[in-house]
Amino acid sequence: MTKALRVGPDSAGAEPGPAAYKKGGDKPTVCDANVVLGYLPSDVKLGGAMEIYRDSAEAAVQTLADAMNIDLMTAAEGIIKIVNESMLGALRLVSVEQGYDPRDFALVGFGGAGPLHANALGILSGAWPVIVPPGPGVLCAYGDATTQVQDEASQTYVARTDAITADDLIGEFEALRGRASESFEADGIPADQQEATYQADIRYAGQAFQLTLTTTIDELKEKGLAVLTDEFDRQHEQLFTFAHGKDHEIVMIRAIVKAKSSLTADLKEVGEKPTALEDAKFHDTKFYYEQEWHDAVIYDREKLGAGTVIPGPAIVVEMDSTTLILPGHAATVDKVGNLLINPA
């Protein structure tokens, strides 16, 4: 009706999927736009097995182009620019709107399609380098398998520090640890594979807000409650330019228990020497960017050694994902196989 291009919130999902998969989908998707632009090469099978049909993707995106009276490539690039701006909005929620400048951070692109858009998001956000880890399509599963299991227990504990002793607080902390450890015992994780940290929310008596401080039982035994009150004064002065040095009040305490997973992250270093790019080359290709075609090269990520520099325009393919390196940028492989994309 308005001839304005919108992307989402509906999704083709895995079934029927994008038109490029030829599984029954006929609506244009972001994936189809990536295929039309050449970012997702139709001459390389997904995961080495799944065919991509460029003609089907073009037919689907053409329906949008016809509705807006624009050409096919302009419509496809418009889809990608809009979805990139949408992702930038999500990045702003966790950066700018939380008081952080994204230019002070690196940007990690993961998921099956994330590395296709990561370079563009780096340009929009100013976050460099853009990091694409090995196996980005399964990064969440890898993290889930290797992360620490955690549980916690907390309780309200309104008491002035001059009215209690360190032993009183230690007793409360140990009781909370027992509660937090119940789930570990149920899962058969022994106590010697658990580690606990303790937190206390502290304020000056009469304040309406508090600061959360972390401590250990050993610190409390060695230094007493001063380990908390001194740190509170330091942080309060840092935040608000003053500290009373007295009338400290604890309002909440908690015990956090962690246990290492039986699966541990094994970061294997890739080949020590840079790879001759010709050895990792699949073949030449081209893709459409900023209203023009660019000659590019497709590389096999498994054959890229540490220190290898991949100049854009280029596409790096692997079993679970595809990484797009835009013109004017280059990716360097670090010692554990991350692709570090920076402006050239």
In three-state secondary structure terms, 223 is helix
At residue 1, the pLDDT reads 62
Q: What is the pLDDT of residues 187-224, one digit of tens each?
A: 888 888 888 999 999 999 988 889 999 999 999 999 99
Q: What is the pLDDT of residues 139-169, one digit of tens each?
A: 888 888 777 888 999 999 999 999 999 999 9
At residue 192, the pLDDT reads 83
Q: How confident is the model at residue 264 (pLDDT cuts 50, 70, 90)?
A: low
Asked if 131 and 109 count as a contact pair (C-beta separation under 8 A), the reply is yes
Mean pLDDT of all residues belonging to the chain? 90
Average pLDDT over residues 308-319: 94
Position 12 pLDDT exceeds 80: no
Q: How confident is the model at residue 15 (pLDDT cuts 50, 70, 90)?
A: confident
Of residues 287, 279, 275, 223, the one with CA closest to residue 80: 287
At residue 118, the pLDDT reads 97
Residue 275: exposed, middle, or buried by beta-carbon count in 10 A (0-12, 13-18, 19+)?
buried
Q: CA-to-CA distance for 174 and 181, rounded, in angstroms?
A: 10
* Tokens (6 digits) for 72: 């096919």
Average pLDDT over residues 314-322: 93
Domain extents for the chain?
Answer: 101-142+268-343, 148-259
Q: How confident is the model at residue 10 (pLDDT cuts 50, 70, 90)?
A: confident
- CB under 8 Å to 288, separation ≥6 — which residues? 36, 37, 38, 73, 76, 77, 294
Fold of 148-259: Dna Ligase; domain 1 (3.30.1490)
Asked if 72 and 65 count as a contact pair (C-beta separation under 8 A), the reply is yes
Q: With 0.75 as the threshold, say if the pTM is over it.
A: no
